[in-house]
Amino acid sequence: MAATHKFRFKISVIGDGQVGKTSLIKKFTQGSFEKDYVKTIGAQFSKYEKEVEGDEIRLIFWDIAGQDDFLFLRPSFYKESGAAIIVYSLEENELGKRSYEHIDNWYENIKKFCGDIPIILFANKMDLVEEDDINETVIQNLVKQHGFLGYYITSAKTGEGVHEAFNTLIEKLYRKSKPLTDD
């Protein structure tokens, strides 16, 4: 039997404040959802382990505060990220509109400090909008424009799309890092 490989990836989860970054991570790693908003101060870390094809994968999610108060800390938080998730809110209000408009800023910021790493886009809070109102063409154009790995429409509250989105990123990182074997 082939030796088990161990992989460790740091994933930065970024986006404006109140878009659901912490809630998405908790839903994926713990299966829980808290409806009360608690502002992230600086950054929070969540560990998650998974086995893929007999290999051990350890993920460390860096949940980075979206408020501008923490702008000066971001370069050090981004350091050594293997991938990034940009989260924005689908809400049809000022928060949703602003978080969508800031996707370009988050993209430029992560590219500046991390170079060419896989980035995935999460359009979150789908439970707060009508599915027919989601303009996927606009999202697809943004994904193409920036070369994102893809996008997922998610709800941290219901869990819809969450596991599929995170697992796609994990699979991509794993495939990119797994050594070629002769067997």
Q: In the prediction, which pLDDT does 101 show?
A: 97
The pLDDT assigned to 76 comes to 82
- Fold for domain 6-177? Rossmann fold (3.40.50)
Average pLDDT taken over every residue of the chain: 89
The domain spans of the chain are 6-177
Measured in degrees and rounded to the nearest 5, phi and psi for residue 152 equal -135, 140
Residues 6+ apart with CB under 8 A from 9: 57, 58, 59, 60, 82, 83, 170, 173, 177
d(CA 1, CA 23): 39
Interval 62-84 mean pLDDT = 82
pLDDT of residue 182: 45
Q: Are 106 and 86 in contact (CB under 8 A)?
A: yes
Q: Is the pLDDT of residue 3 over 60?
A: no
The model scores a pTM over 0.85: yes
| C-alpha to C-alpha distance for 35 and 147, rounded to whole angstroms | 33
72 pLDDT more than 80: no
Contact 7, 55 (CB under 8 A): yes
The whole-angstrom separation of Cα 55 and Cα 64 is 28
The whole-number pLDDT of residue 162 equals 96
- The tens digit of pLDDT for each residue in 87-126 reads 999 999 999 999 999 999 999 999 999 999 999 999 999 9
Let me know: does 35 contact 18? Beta carbons within 8 Å: no
